[in-house]
Amino acid sequence: MSAGNLGIDAATILTDALDGVSPRVDPVIVAEAEQALVDLAEGSLDHPPLRADLVRGQAQLFVEAIDPDGTRPREELARRRRRFTIGPETRDGLIPVHGLLTLEIGASLTRLIDAHVRRVAFSGVPTPVSDPDTRPLDDSDALVSSVDDRTPAQRRHDTLADIISAATRVKDAPELAGAAPAITVTVTQTTLDSGHGVGSIDGLDTPISVDAIDKMIDSRGIQTVTMNPHRRILALGSVQRCFTSSQRRAITARDGGCVIPGCTTSAGWCEVHHVVPWRDGGQTHTDNGVLLCWGHHQNIDRGPWRLTMPNGIPHVRGPGHPEWTHTTKTRTGPPLTRTG
């Protein structure tokens, strides 16, 4: 460092790595490892200096070589420190999450989300990125389509929503108090009929719009609890308005995944959307249901995409598709052309 050949970041990485193993390893071996790592980090005539992230990788390799049993106590410490907490809602209507995941769980979650993050396949214009949450996932994300204006962090959130939605539909999902772990939303029938107003989620103080409630009903159904003005329960209705499992299987066979062009979300992670809204007379019928991922389901009523169902076949129109275009992704059957 005094000679200007090694940066403080690299030096800190090396000292931290070797200090962690020095109590258990022969000092001569530690000194030899230190010298070799410094030589790699500062560079030579044969190779340039290493970036800090590459120094960290090399240090880890050396530590594993000179202290092969050292990973066990580290992993045991990680297992003891693992945690995941869901905080109370904020005034902005968001719920914070915090935690530390073990390497295998964190890596699995990262790979799972990265594999399913949607990328819209239309050409766009370069979008400047400066905020860490808006930095592209990789070089291929540097062009952010004008169709999909979500940041990478927002797309990861929406992919997590897809994962949660899919997990609630598995056959052996655990029950809560003898029933599926569904959330309870309270809303008046007048609000649902008019399309204006708010409801509330059980256990939360922040109100939820009727539009959001409609999206939830689309994918999870509604069970009516009739009360009098004094909150006495008068009647409990059966689940309605939700597409049945048989209908969902048929729609899955037809659509093959989210019907929005360029979206790669698989069918098992999608929700079923009423093309003609329920309150506008739309039926819970396969001719009126299409598969949408959580992110596109939330925004379908605001554009830029539009849906129609001629002869029970989903067609979309939007950026890059000025004409109504059949876009289902099933691998069976002949391709269908634009319908104008």
> Is-contact 317 325, C-beta < 8 A?
yes
Q: By C-alpha distance, which of 187, 116, 202 is closest to 155? A: 116
Strand, coil or helix: 290: strand
109-165: pLDDT as tens digits:
888 777 766 444 333 333 334 444 544 444 334 333 445 677 888 888 888 888 877
Strand, coil or helix: 315: strand
Q: By C-alpha distance, which of 286, 256, 254 is closest to 273? A: 286
**Which residues are bridge partners to 207 per DSSP?**
200
Among 40-54, 152-166, 214-228, 260-274, name the one with the lowest average pLDDT. Answer: 214-228
**Which residues are bridge partners to 223 per DSSP?**
239
Per-residue tokens: 177: 């108090």
pLDDT in the model for residue 125: 34
> Is-contact 233 89, C-beta < 8 A?
no
How far is CA 163 from its chain centroid? Answer: 7
Where does the pLDDT of residue 290 fall: very low under 50, low under 70, confident under 90, or very high at 90 and above? very high
More reliable by pLDDT, 144 or 10: 10
Where does the pLDDT of residue 201 fall: very low under 50, low under 70, confident under 90, or very high at 90 and above? confident
Contacts of 224 (CB under 8 A, 6+ apart): 235, 236, 237, 240
Across the chain, which distance is largest between two alpha carbons, in Å?
A: 85
Where does the pLDDT of residue 84 fall: very low under 50, low under 70, confident under 90, or very high at 90 and above? very high
Where does the pLDDT of residue 340 fall: very low under 50, low under 70, confident under 90, or very high at 90 and above? very low
